[in-house]
Structures are given as structure tokens and as C-alpha cells.
Structure 1
């Protein structure tokens, strides 16, 4: 069968029940991401300045994802018209998957920033790793977009496979680079922080593994309304796990590492650090007015010179 004789994946005539399931999945994921945005914004100062880039990335990520789901809900709501007992798609329904790639092209690179910000990699190595992993994450999404949305509107199975494999190359680099950074960081932190970082990494890459499985559905089956529902619900649920579940665990790592630094005397934090209702460290304010010995000596010399001048 010619590729153009097959229906565009997103342009399915939806029964009432399946249409409602997708709508509820989009709404539920959107609310979860909005709640995570507010949580990230409010809890940002719970971690020290050393780990706050992770919190900044989380706030930006959650804001973009929540806005994307507002657009997805609007696309779905306005992309169909009710005719009798079914919802008939219009061309606007095409955006119900395409908008996701715009979201992912921004939020997936930010996920790498979140993870690296709580690792122990520093200096030029950290900058290089952040640059290359963000680039690999972006290319992973863009190449997948070509197969899913650009080539023959996602109906060409060969294009889906080829561009999916190209996307996988960037995924493999991403996995090797990020897991390497995590493994190098684990010995430098406490047992609880290390366990949380390990769990966060497992959540991230487990969810990353779900996306290609959903992407590959049109390769193996002719997409029906039921399969489109599975695609939309699967993407929505995985987005919540990859962004909210991972983000909450990373925030816990940042708090635990903040407490470790305060306890070791290498950093300060103005408020006590609590995690899972357990007190981890006291609030320690930075010393105000503390001056180095060279500054004190210079000031004393200036004061002495003033006294001599006055006596003369």
C-alpha cells in the first residue's frame, strides 16, 4: 500500500469514550506539571547556591511543559468536531503530537542540566559535559521529529525506522555521558544522597526508554483510534514521570548535598535542612564583616598614618 493511502496518525475519527480518555490524560498531566512548577518555584531556596542551577532548570522546565500541555489540550479540544456519536478530526488535530516535540526540544536538555547540577563534576569538564549533553538531547528530539512528523507526515515506516535509529545514536551518547557523571559523583556524597541520585537516574532513563517504544508503534501496527489513545496517554504519563518524578528526586539530592556541605563546614545555608521530616542540618549564616588578615593590616596601617599626621 502506498504511504499516502494510509491515514495520518493523528487524524483519527475518535469514539466518544476514547476522545474523553485522551482529553483527561492531557488535562491531568498539565495540572501535575503546573503543580510541579509551583513546587519548584516555592522550594528553590531550600538548597544552597552551589546546587541552585538544578532548581532554576526545574522551574524553567516545569513552566515550559505546563504551557505546552495547555497548548496540547487546546489543540485536542479544537482539533475535532462532534458529528453524531464520533469526533471527526480537523487539520489542527495534527498538532496534538507535533507540539510535544517542541516541548521536548527544550525540556529534555533541561533535564540534563538538572542532573549534572547535583553531580560533583566541576570546572571546564562540567561546562563541556553540559554543552555536549544538551546538544545530544536536542538532536535526539529533532531527529525523532523528522521521522514522526516531517517525512510523509509520519506515515513512512522506513523513515520512522531510519530517523529513530539516528535518534538512538544521540540517546546512547547521552546515556553514556550522564551515567558516567553520576558514577563519578556517587563516591563523593553521603549514602542517602547517593541512593537518591541513583534512583533519579534510574527513573530518568527508564522513562527515556518508554518514549521510543511509543514512537515505534506506527512501525508495527496501523494506527487506529485505540492506538492513538494509547500513544497520547503513554506520552502524557511518561512526561509526568520523567519531569515530576525525576525532578522531585533531584531536589532531594540537592537538599541532602546542601546539608552535607553545611555539616562539613564547606558551605552555609541560612535555614535548617529537612528531608522526609528528618532534620539534616542546622541553619548556618555566613560570617558578616569577616576580613582577611591583609585587609586588616592595611586598615591598621591607614589608621596609624592618620594618627601620626594628626600629631604633627
Structure 2
């Protein structure tokens, strides 16, 4: 085994990445299989959720492969673990997470457009600014810590839109949907809060430090599972609630099943 990581550290990251693959893959399968349990107008949100976990499953396979090449029993000399796989994944999936949140509410087209034109670019900017800091790149003379700080600006803006702007549209939703959307926003806040903690732990490391690496990979994986798999299942639940509220015949059929 590569000498820069202990057996315990290797086993923990190995098992976390394996769990990430399983969680993303089987959540994707469930959501694709269950999409017909909601009305057509809400299926897009469920399909986007499945797409998010599907993209993540692919990137977890790639991260697992990269980890094995860097630290596994047959590690390749000089191979460096590619943290870029996570950021490519987030660059694709984080905007989609926000799209599915808006899509499942069935808002008027003008309201949807207004929210998405603010949320999607902010999400892409947040990920784009965060990568140089996490990868410890010194781009244009800007140190990694500054890149991390810059990425928090769009992050805070996203929270403002979700909690303030989106909150205004919840008045038209039922009490059950309002409760689930509030849970969804808190889940997003709690899971996204893990990323800067792991980011800071890695940023403060000088060279390779096993504890920082293991904390980062473990924290990111747990947060990813909650922010993608659990998030997608809550989206599916909201779609089910709204489907049964909109169509009494559909609700009767679903309850009977």
C-alpha cells in the first residue's frame, strides 16, 4: 500500500466512496422506477433528481478508481488523487438540485424563470470559485484561501433566494408542502455547511496530511449522500403530495395501491 496513508485511513475512505457509489446508484434506480407514481406535471422534478444521483454515481466510480490508483495496494507511483472529479460533479449537479427544487412546486412560469436565472448561475459560480481553493491552486497570484472566501459570496446569495425569494411563493402551497419545502431548505443548509468545514481542513494542510485528506473525503461523501439522495427522496415526496392534492382520482388510486 502507498506509504503516505495508513491502513485505517485507507479503509475509511475506501468504504465511504463505496457507500457513495451504492447510495447514488440505487437512489437513481428507485427514482426512475417510481416516476410514474406522480402526476406528469411533477415528473420532471423527479427525473432531474434521478439525473443528479446518476451523474454523482458516475463520478463516485471515477473517484473510487482515482483513490485506488493513488493509495490502493497497487498504487501507481507518482499518481495524484484527482479532487477535480468532485468539482465536475458539483458543477453539474448543484445547479440541477436547485432546478428540481423550483420545478417540483409547480410555480407559474414567470416565477420559475425569475428564480432559476438567479440560482443556476450563482451555483455554477460558487463551484467554479471553490475549486482553486480546494485543489490548492495559486491562480493569478490569488491564494487558495481567497478563492474559498470568494465562493461564499454566491453561496450566501443562493441562501437568500431560497429562504427569502422562494419563501414568498410558499404562501400558495398547502401546509404539508410548505412543511416539506422548509425541511428541504434546512437539509440543504445543513449539508452544504459540511463542505466549508472539510474545505478549511484541507486548505490548512501543508502538503499531504492524512487526517485532512480523510476528513475531507469522509465529510464530502456524507454531505453528498444527504444533499443528493435524501434531497431527491424529499423532492419525490413533495411531488407525491402535490399530485394527490391536485387530482382526487389519482389520490384514490394511490391510496388503494
TM-score (normalizing by structure 2): 0.89
* Inter-partner Cα distance in structure 2 for 1:152 and 1:240: 30
- Please say if 1:159 is aligned against 2:150: no
- Please say if 1:93 is aligned against 2:80: yes
Tell me, yes or no, if the aligned pair for 2:134 and 2:203 is still in contact at 8 Å: no
1:125 counterpart (111, 115, 123): 111
What SS is found at the alignment partner of 1:272? helix
Cα deviation, residue 67, structure 1: 0.4
Tell me, yes or no, if the aligned pair for 1:119 and 1:185 is still in contact at 8 Å: no
1:113 counterpart (88, 96, 99): 99
- Please say if 1:75 is aligned against 2:66: yes
* Inter-partner Cα distance in structure 2 for 1:221 and 1:244: 30
Q: Which residue does the alignment assign to 1:172?
A: 156
Tell me, yes or no, if the aligned pair for 1:121 and 1:181 is still in contact at 8 Å: no
- Please say if 1:37 is aligned against 2:37: no
Structure with greater strand percent: 1
What SS is found at the alignment partner of 2:30? helix
What SS is found at the alignment partner of 1:119? coil
User: Gaps (5+ residues) in structure 2?
Assistant: none
Q: Residues 258, 131 of structure 1: CA spacing in aligned structure 2 closer, same or farther, 3 A cutoff?
A: same
User: Gaps (5+ residues) in structure 1?
Assistant: 1-10, 274-278, 284-312
* Inter-partner Cα distance in structure 2 for 1:149 and 1:220: 12
Q: Supply the RMSD in Å over aligned alpha carbons.
A: 2.5
* Inter-partner Cα distance in structure 2 for 1:89 and 1:129: 46
* Inter-partner Cα distance in structure 2 for 1:73 and 1:186: 40
Residues 166-207 of structure 1 show CA distances to partners (whole Å, capped at 9, x for unaligned) of 111111111111223441233222222221111111101111
Q: Which residue does the alignment assign to 1:234?
A: 219
Alignment: residue pair count: 254
* Inter-partner Cα distance in structure 1 for 2:8 and 2:96: 35
Q: Which residue does the alignment assign to 2:135?
A: 149
What SS is found at the alignment partner of 1:14? coil
What SS is found at the alignment partner of 2:79? helix
Q: Residues 90, 142 of structure 1: CA spacing in aligned structure 2 closer, same or farther, 3 A cutoff?
A: farther
- Please say if 1:46 is aligned against 2:46: no
Q: Which residue does the alignment assign to 2:49?
A: 58
Q: Which residue does the alignment assign to 1:203?
A: 187
Cα deviation, residue 53, structure 1: 1.8
Q: Which residue does the alignment assign to 1:272?
A: 253
